[in-house]
Amino acid sequence: MSAGQAAERNPAARSAPAHRNVSAPARSTVRATPPQDRRASATQTNRNSQARVRVASRTHQRTSVARIQAQPRMRDAPHELIPVIGPDMRAGMPSGDTSPRAACLAATRRAEEVHGLPQGLLTAIALAESGLHAYALSIGGRAHFPETESAARALYSGAPAGRSIMAGCVQVNARVHARNSYWPLDPVRSADWAGGIMARWAAETGSWSEALRRWHGGSPASTRRLVCRVRAKMEVTNPRSTLFDDYQCDSSQAERTRRNGAAHLATAERQTRLALAEHQSR
């Protein structure tokens, strides 16, 4: 029988071309996903995404630490970086007969402005290091607070050869950075030196907390403790600062550190006002 004859006998066959095998559409075997399953799947996808972000963040942190540690470090005795003190650097600074704390305060504030440091940072460091005292000495771990530079020089020069000496407003390691020199007892020079170093290290690492760690010479593990101590002082020197807000610090310890810093800063500011009033009365 030909295809034409079959079509005449079966009308349904006439509607379909002879070259196609026409069959009924198959019923779909794909089941619809219940709403709760879709939500669970989306939650798992979000968790997976968050886990990938955490891994990427940790990898970035490790890479950043490795990059920072590979940075060229400043020489241990950078004498050549100490600036020549000219008349313009001392313009507006207190006279030599001012109090040690007023002198240190004026020097750190000047250095912050000159070197572009965050407001209050170097003053907070000086509060943590010396109590904001221009002639403070730590000789072999024992603290001294002479009232005059001449008295400080006498202690400095009389220190036993084997004893460490941390000197001045920002407590420079004199045995390393100032052999045969009294420059750490000059608050303008020592604060300017510290401000320049902090600015350089912050530029090298992109981190003020890393610059602070380098300044103190601490290990990476000690960074939080160092930053928390300086942050408590900054709450006094610049209460609006958010510089180290990402660090979790012990509140009770911070309060004691803050009170101590506030007392020394108040003394320095009071002595500054007295010196200014005395100068104007002359």
Confidence class for position 88, pLDDT limits 50, 70, 90? low
Please check whether residue 23 lies inside any domain of the structure: no
| Segment 124-156, tens digit of pLDDT | 999 999 999 999 999 999 999 999 999 999 999
Cβ contact 183:156 at 8 Å? no
User: Pick the residue with more confidence: 70 or 23?
Assistant: 70
Q: So what's the pLDDT on residue 186? A: 95
Q: Is the pLDDT of residue 251 over 90?
A: no
Please check whether residue 238 lies inside any domain of the structure: yes
Q: So what's the pLDDT on residue 215? A: 87
Q: So what's the pLDDT on residue 94? A: 55
DSSP class per residue in 88-117 = TTTTTPPPTTS-HHHHHHHHHHHHHHHHTP
- Which structural domain, as residue segments, surrounds residue 216? 97-281
Please check whether residue 146 lies inside any domain of the structure: yes
Q: How many domains does the chain have?
A: 1
Please check whether residue 35 lies inside any domain of the structure: no
| Segment 35-55, tens digit of pLDDT | 566 666 666 666 666 666 555
**How far apart are alpha carbons 143 and 155 in whole angstroms?**
11
**How far apart are alpha carbons 258 and 218 in whole angstroms?**
22
User: Pick the residue with more confidence: 164 or 64?
Assistant: 164
pTM of the model: 0.69
Please check whether residue 20 lies inside any domain of the structure: no
Please check whether residue 55 lies inside any domain of the structure: no
CA angle 97, 102, 107 (to 5 degrees): 100
Please check whether residue 157 lies inside any domain of the structure: yes
Q: So what's the pLDDT on residue 45? A: 67
User: Pick the residue with more confidence: 108 or 216?
Assistant: 108
- Among the residue ranges 72-81, 107-116, 272-281, the one predicted with the least confidence is 72-81
Q: Is the pLDDT of residue 80 over 80?
A: no
Please check whether residue 128 lies inside any domain of the structure: yes
